[in-house]
Amino acid sequence: MPKQDSFHEFVMSEVFREIQNVTSRKMFGGFGIYQNGLFFALIDDSELYFKVDEENRKDFEAQGSKPFVYKGHNGREVTMSYWLLPADVMEDTEKLKTWVEKSVGAARRAKKK
């Protein structure tokens, strides 16, 4: 099993074990993570990123997190509104629930725009 797939399996079975209605789909070499159909997180290169907007960005910045960046077709870097989930949040179920709620809220707000 490739490293990316085993990390995905770990995230879905262990990290989100206590979080309701979380599903995933393969996308662009990684995985999209959804709660009740809202795309709130992604896995790329065996790292987990959560949706960020003005309402939860400060949480990620305070933890020293960085946004997801990839190289576009023209070779330029593209920064997305998904930031690396800090390890301590991933390991704390109660904290994780709050961060999931905030990122799902960011996904909901982005969808309304």
* CA atoms of 65 and 3, how far apart (whole Å): 22
CATH number of 3-94: 3.30.1460.30
% of the chain residues with pLDDT over 70:
96
Q: What is the pLDDT of residue 85?
A: 98
Please give the order of strands across the beta sheet that includes 47-51: 22-27, 30-35, 38-44, 47-51, 77-84, 67-71
Report the pLDDT value the prediction gives residue 53, as an integer from 0 to 100: 97
User: Using CA atoms, how far apart are residues 40 and 82, in angstroms rounded to an integer?
Assistant: 8
* pTM for the whole structure: 0.92
Inter-residue long-range contacts of 72-80, CB under 8 Å, 24+ positions, other chains counted = 80/49
